[in-house]
Structure 1
């Protein structure tokens, strides 16, 4: 558990009932749920609300009839901006979260501080690069684009080498169902459970690997592969994209992380509630993020009324 010792006295008047860090689906649903039970909140987001949803051209796993990320994002953003009990702090980044016996304090990059009895951390994850994974050898300063940034023009009639088997591949294929392309997906054992949804797509060639060494030229990509039987082979492609997953992006301070950087809800200070993709790599879905954010707000609501014996987790 995080250190629960008090660093300072309780603020005379907290700025709000609840601070929400992160403006993705989880953070937005937390603020909306909080408002529905009469709690004031301040939502802190360094960019725009649900910004990553605008990069998902096709959806098939959310309620409400939404078929694209931008459509869902516009709906969420419009609703939240019309939520009277939620104050939006857009263009602001939370740099530190501190938890004391009776309140939390969030410091912004401007140096300003906000206080509330509870804070929800829903900052989600950011894309990994080859240097972050032990199974890929590539130039250290090589920045590669994630697959979700590719469009039909990038893929049509071309062979794309995809590093990793993360679920963005399925999203890409659904978004471009008729685009003639070939994806050569090389992935480690840890991604085995992720590739079932793309296994039967005729445009995909799956290559389970132990290690990949990447070489790039101006007009081609080459990968020297060691497969799981120890066999060596070389794959060439027109371009290379990433689908190796993400890393948690929680602010510094009183947040407990596991060895991979994820923040298990049960390990946190009682006044810090973790929601959304930040909890685990296994539950990174829009629907689970929405539900997690709503549940986090209700935890704060009940804990504030001592209906959870003071434990918000």
Structure 2
């Protein structure tokens, strides 16, 4: 395969040649440095590179270009090569534009002109970005192919796993020529799908998540058996804990059973997160946090589920579902919550075949010009409605209550009201689902009038409430009646500490009834269910971990 590409874009020929010269001098042996004189010319070059199946590691664009600015180019280039690192070259007077680009195109860095000497101002920046790009699974697995049936639940699970872990792949139907050729080459049949073929030609037939994770370069085994801190859960709270703990020198491992990001990672756009006035996708925010954690030395363990937690002297022992164990001085529980399963008759038969839980970005392009139904009245449902309205002919938002104001942010309500593609149905519930090899019909009921009606659709996305995944903690830490973990002052009732509490002090604010074990984010009882508060609690938990360790 050809060397990865570094692409520079500048309409000033003198500057363009100078940038390319400095880049070739240091990186020419390992990368192909290509320069373009305009945004459209650069996009055409990227399309050709994409068709050849080659990789782009770095995009460096001048901001002030006629016809298409550097920000506009980088935004368009993200659709072709989302894993490429992005740099804006700008004059001092344009630093406001560079700061804007951090939000609009998830900019990695901006360089001020002049960048000389390059040894001080250019190469250290590019070195770091190229190292980050090379370390991502995206760089190592650029041509993963997945062969499956359109309405196969196992095929959907593979695609969803890859998408949520930000692993690029090509989706091929088993009854199309290329998909059939791959099945034949692997000695498989349509009954064996999903088939996964890595860029190295390795084939996996109906792989487990652990097998798939190992094949695409995710870490599935810890490097040691003892840590200062184990973080369980890779949502905003868990990633926040991992970043702050690792940056402060604690031996940290984050254990995630599926994919980092949690529910927030599935959000098409989060618009009320501090510092991102133009919004940021959950995937972008997750990618940044994951890279930060890895940069500071945290281990991120994928497809491993913790099913047991016990006290072993001064250590906390954690058991995985395969029987393996690791131990740590402290633990942060950041397992978040999961959406409740729709109880309507027939709905469970179509999970992954028309009925989906959460905003499944992999399905959005298939919804073009079709009617989509979404169940839920909170922010996650609102974000999904706005997102799918870009693709679907009509999005029907089904809400049990009289309106959206009880649980949805005002900015989302305003967007929904402005959209002519989103229709809100109040006092409406799904009471039935039917179809053949996939969902074909829903039965809806108006809870006020009792009226029922049947609608034709192949798409239902469910966002109904949230349940903590804490059954495995029964008898280990105190939980409230709904299963959320109780922490801090709430554990002290009538001046009495929780049963079995062995220390002479009260529990710290985020500490559970088991000393040295903390809870952060949505899994914690009485927490604020927002991304920003989850990140804050994750960071706060690390400060309490330090206090706990210093007292031992």
Cα distance change on mapping 1:51 and 1:226 into 2, 3 Å: closer
In structure 1, the residue matched to 2:20 is none
| Root-mean-square deviation (Å) | 3.2
Matching residue within 526, 532, 537 for 1:287 = 532
Aligned length: 288
In structure 2, the residue matched to 1:24 is 235
In structure 2, the residue matched to 1:200 is 417
CA contact (8 A) 1:39 1:301 kept: no
Gaps of 5+ in 2: 1-224, 492-511
In structure 2, the residue matched to 1:246 is 466
- Partners of 2:539 and 2:547 in 1: how far apart? 13
In structure 2, the residue matched to 1:146 is 357
Matching residue within 316, 330, 334 for 1:118 = 330
Matching residue within 277, 284, 290 for 1:71 = 284
Moved more, 192-201 or 263-272: 192-201
Give the secondary-structure state (helix, strand or coil) at the position aligned to 1:117: strand
Q: Quote the offset at 1:30 in angstroms.
A: 0.6
Q: Quote the offset at 1:295 in angstroms.
A: 0.9
**Deviations for 1:119-148, whole angstroms, at most 9, x for unmatched residues?**
1111112232213xxxx4445544221351
In structure 2, the residue matched to 1:59 is 270
CA contact (8 A) 1:99 1:271 kept: no
Matches within 5 A, 1:229-308: 229-234=448-453, 236-239=455-458, 240-250=460-470, 252-253=472-473, 254-266=476-488, 267=491, 268-269=512-513, 270-280=515-525, 283-306=528-551
In structure 2, the residue matched to 1:7 is none
- Partners of 1:41 and 1:260 in 2: how far apart? 30
Cα distance change on mapping 1:215 and 1:252 into 2, 3 Å: closer
- Higher strand proportion (structure 1 or 2): 1
Q: What TM-score does the superposition give when structure 2 sets the normalisation length?
A: 0.46
In structure 1, the residue matched to 2:250 is 39
Q: Quote the offset at 1:241 in angstroms.
A: 2.3
Q: What TM-score does the superposition give when structure 1 sets the normalisation length?
A: 0.77
Cα distance change on mapping 1:225 and 1:82 into 2, 3 Å: same
- Partners of 2:461 and 2:230 in 1: how far apart? 36
CA contact (8 A) 2:385 2:397 kept: no
**Deviations for 1:282-305, whole angstroms, at most 9, x for unmatched residues?**
733322221111111111112333
Q: Quote the offset at 1:273 in angstroms.
A: 0.8
Q: Quote the offset at 1:201 in angstroms.
A: 4.2
Cα distance change on mapping 1:189 and 1:272 into 2, 3 Å: farther
- Partners of 2:516 and 2:486 in 1: how far apart? 14
In structure 2, the residue matched to 1:175 is 387
In structure 1, the residue matched to 2:295 is 82
- Partners of 1:138 and 1:281 in 2: how far apart? 34
CA contact (8 A) 1:224 1:235 kept: yes
Q: Of the two, which has the highest radius of gyration? A: 2
- Partners of 2:288 and 2:429 in 1: how far apart? 42
- Partners of 2:327 and 2:287 in 1: how far apart? 29
- Partners of 2:226 and 2:550 in 1: how far apart? 18
Cα distance change on mapping 1:21 and 1:223 into 2, 3 Å: same
CA contact (8 A) 2:315 2:327 kept: yes
Gaps of 5+ in 1: 1-13
Give the secondary-structure state (helix, strand or coil) at the position aligned to 1:264: coil
- Partners of 1:284 and 1:200 in 2: how far apart? 24
- Partners of 1:281 and 1:130 in 2: how far apart? 25
Q: Quote the offset at 1:154 in angstroms.
A: 4.2
